[in-house]
Amino acid sequence: MKSRKLKAIILVLSFAFVALPFVVAHGAGGRIEGRVTDPKGAVVSGATVTVTDPASNKTFSALTDDQGRYKIESLKAGTYIVIISARGFVNARREDVKVAEGGTATFDARLEIAALEASVNVATNTKANSDTVYQQLRQIGKNPQDFGGPFATVTNLVLTRDAAVFTLRSGELYFGAPVEGRITAAVFIGDGELTLVPPTPIEKRSLAIFVDDEKLAEPFAHLVIRFTDKTFEETKASASAKMSTGGPQAEKARDLYRANQQLLRKELRNNAELRVLSDLYAPQRPGYFTAYIAGARHSKLFFRLDPLGIPQVAPEEVELASYGEGDGGIWTAFHLADEYAKGTASSSEDHRLIDIMHHEIDGTIRGTRITASDVITFRNLAGGTRVVPFNLYRTLRVSRVSDEQGRDLDFIQENKEEDAAFGVILPQALEAGKTYKLTVQYDGDGALSDSGGGNYILGPRSTWYPANAGNSFGEDRAIYDMTFRYPKGHMFIGTGAPVAAETSDGDLIVARWSSGQTELAVAGFNYGRFKKKEVLDKDTGYNIEFYANEELPDEVKRVQASIQQTEAKAPERGRTVTPTTLGAISTTSMADAAIGDAENATRIYNAYFGKLPYTRIAMTQQPAFNFGQAWPTLIFMPYMAFLDSTVRSQLLKSTRGGTDDFWRYVAPHEISHQWWGHIIGWDSYHDQWMSEGFAEFSASLYVQQIRGNDKFVDFWEDHRKQIIQSSPATRDIKPYTIGPVTQGIRLSSGKTRAAYQFLVYPKGAFILHMIRMMMFNQGGRGDAKFQVMMKDFIQTHFNQDVSTEDFKAAVEKGIGGNMDWFFNEWVYGIEMPSYRFDYQLSDGGTTLTGKITQSGVSDKFKMLVPVYIDSGKGWVKVGAAWMTGNTSVDLAGVKLPQAANRAAICALDDVLALSTQNSK
């Protein structure tokens, strides 16, 4: 990172260019003036002076000139608040500046240097939101004459956008002012209807969750449309539209547009103008279309068609959704009609504009503030691109973007409380296949938060640095080199591995981390005051590190205090008061157990899935109570997981829930994300079930190996219940009926609440469990065939993203046969069978007679149902029956290899079912 002298400071309030009124009026009233200097008395030019009238909340502002002077005039007599801010300095503030009518109040400020900025570079940001085309787009709707230009009087004008058909029966379509010669906004007022029929059975079903019908027919009274496609030209050319200018409802159209603008900026936080700008600067693109539909039944609907993919459901290009409370969610999403026609529709489609190859992040942490620069090396994928969008957490404010030659580039980033999306504008179109470098400088609070006791938590998982906006989950495999500076006494644990010993730089420690030659799907870190313990596991070769927080975070201290209070109030209950349990939240003592868990889990996963390309795995505590997460080589463990179950249940009584098994198995789950999520990523939300489902499945391997078959069966029973039982968490709908696991995040909605969690994790896990159980060979090689298949799957796609179809191909190869039936039933389908086994044992337990019944399924549904016997030493599989449809199979006098005292089907929860009854 380059360092610059402080005199180069120019001020940076990005919104100052657009929003703040600079008061230069002369005349009556008083004034406030003054001079701004640094601690040594040197002038500070370009400082922002903001004067607020606390009575009216009116704000006036000015910049200091090159003498460091400012003047704000025409102020009503009264008392004002003055705030002076300049990059690199602590704000100066005075609350009681009295202004008399016709008088002058003086406030001179000597600014103190902000500790953080003293050691890092100072940016010269003149480029935020200042692109003139962008500014024109942001201004649409502001002028009184807006929407007073061209308009069309329509009679049954039909706008067809893929599966959506907008019929504008009668009324007027008003157009916004052109920018760069192109019209990008329109408002319809009149009588119209949107009809939409999703292209696939799964999507028809999804729509029916919201409208009780497989097709939508929604009347509306107005639309706000934003587009870069040919909507204007199409309307103009249509015989159903009569063009004219200065329509009768232009003012209403403008008001509707402005209301939509407010909605997008302040509520949905979606910078629509950034998306428009991207196409205005790449005019060869076909363009996108978005309509906000004030429907008669559903007033908060919107429809989008974007050939670059819709952010949440990319690479899918078409979406109908609602931002309403009760009906909110993605109603339907799919690929373009011609992709289905050509058979190319797939979650492996790549609409990314760029492929990031390298992040070189240089950051400083002070308190909760991160100041960083990221040198991003990327290959441009789509020729003609001039606007490159990134995902960057909204409180991290960009001060400067520069290119390889060190030239400042324009960029977009609005107010952090509004539509703060970050995008870079290149001076000319990028060439396809060429490699470029950008340097982004940014800083801010909010990404890192302080939980007390020297504990910090990094909130944004993949957006604390500028991540590729073309990937819906923010993950784009790249090499990461990170240098971080932070106050002594703290530790920084990154992804990858340290490349050198820590050094010091004044009162800061400097740590360097790198992913080496292995691209990581995402990078992160943990930071705070830790105690470290480590073990080199000779069996796997991984160095297992454990970082325990030295002190309890505030939240746990609060819970601790409240429990102690409760106990103090109720000693008469005669229960043994256990102050020691909470005193014992000294989690450092849990380090050995955690390291043991990690060693066991990694040994098991190495045997089932193969070796990782990483040399170390760090288990770190995070001050969050109830969730864990994993980055490559780095795992965040929730506090709860480190407590013994007695303490845990004591805490759970007073705080939020989570079953005890969740806490027990959160470590094996998170550790397995090194394989499922990092080494094997997922193409789209349709495929993400493999990441969470397989991680949950991996936890079952741990349970079976470490805690035995009884706990293993308990584990699957618990998962089965999550899938089949309704609860308020899914609006009392049985989760499995909502949709297939491939619907991913979309399973959750205003109609179905948290259904995602009740399907993607447990049913995703069950799918792999059922495959394992079918492949299990008890007499011979056990899991050998399954392990070969899983290792082959990983090797084939090592450090890549996969689709559900890639996994299907791996299973077909591993099993040696077509698996359409299995995937259609369990992965893409929602069927749920029930089983019954009535049996007798005779001849001293050596002959088995019985009847297996499968019910509650469609005629084509087939499944392999295993039969087990128990001779007193646990379940042994003796065979399996193919069952198709609602049917029964008789076992007539089957000779058993040994005398049994009981028999069962699906003894290890081999088949996911509503119920499995075994009766003798």
* Binding residues for Zn ion (CB under 5 A): 692, 695
Which of 387, 354, 356, 179 is CA-nearest to residue 275? 387
Report the alpha-carbon distance of residue 652 to residue 162 in Å, rounded: 50
CB of 760 to Zn ion, least distance (A): 10
Residue recorded with tokens 């087990």: 868
- Residue placing its CB nearer to Zn ion in the complex, 413 or 672: 672
Report the alpha-carbon distance of residue 258 to residue 597 in Å, rounded: 56
CB 433 within 8 A of CB 379: yes
CB of 702 to Zn ion, least distance (A): 14
CB of 854 to Zn ion, least distance (A): 32
Concatenating the DSSP letter of every residue in 645-685 gives: HHHHHHHHHHS----HHHHHHHHHHHHHTTTBTTTEEESST
Both structure tokens of 26: 């002369």
- The torsion of the CA quartet 70, 71, 77, 80, rounded to 10 degrees, works out to -20
CB of 639 to Zn ion, least distance (A): 17
CB of 460 to Zn ion, least distance (A): 17
Edge-to-edge strands, sheet with 455-458: 448-452, 455-458, 525-528, 491-494
CB of 662 to Zn ion, least distance (A): 11
> Residues in the chain, how many?
920
Q: What single-letter amino acid sits at 285? A: R
CB of 641 to Zn ion, least distance (A): 13
CB of 601 to Zn ion, least distance (A): 13
Q: Give phi and psi for 786, each to the nearest 5.
A: -65, -40
> Which residue lies nearest Zn ion, judged by its C-beta?
695
- Residue placing its CB nearer to Zn ion in the complex, 550 or 696: 696
- Residue placing its CB nearer to Zn ion in the complex, 147 or 675: 675
CB of 522 to Zn ion, least distance (A): 13
- Residue placing its CB nearer to Zn ion in the complex, 524 or 866: 524
- Residue placing its CB nearer to Zn ion in the complex, 334 or 761: 761
Both structure tokens of 889: 């199979």
Which of 390, 410, 391 is CA-nearest to residue 400? 410
Report the alpha-carbon distance of residue 240 to residue 68 in Å, rounded: 62
CB of 909 to Zn ion, least distance (A): 21
CB-based contacts of 19: which residues, under 8 Å, 6+ apart?
none
- Residue placing its CB nearer to Zn ion in the complex, 125 or 633: 633
CB 437 within 8 A of CB 404: yes
Report the alpha-carbon distance of residue 817 to residue 706 in Å, rounded: 33
Both structure tokens of 613: 């390309």
By the 10 Å C-beta count (0-12 exposed, 13-18 middle, 19+ buried), 296 is classed as: exposed
- Residue placing its CB nearer to Zn ion in the complex, 330 or 667: 667
- Residue placing its CB nearer to Zn ion in the complex, 274 or 624: 624
Q: Can you count the helices (H) and strands (E) in the chain? A: 19, 47
- Residue placing its CB nearer to Zn ion in the complex, 336 or 768: 768
CB of 719 to Zn ion, least distance (A): 14
- Residue placing its CB nearer to Zn ion in the complex, 156 or 659: 659
Beta strands in 422-520 (DSSP E): 422-425, 435-444, 448-452, 455-458, 467-468, 479-487, 491-494, 497-498, 503-505, 508-514
* Orientation angle between helical segments 689-702 and 660-672, nearest 10 degrees: 110
Distance of CA 880 to the CA centre of its chain: 42
CB of 669 to Zn ion, least distance (A): 6
- Residue placing its CB nearer to Zn ion in the complex, 52 or 757: 757
- Residue placing its CB nearer to Zn ion in the complex, 387 or 695: 695
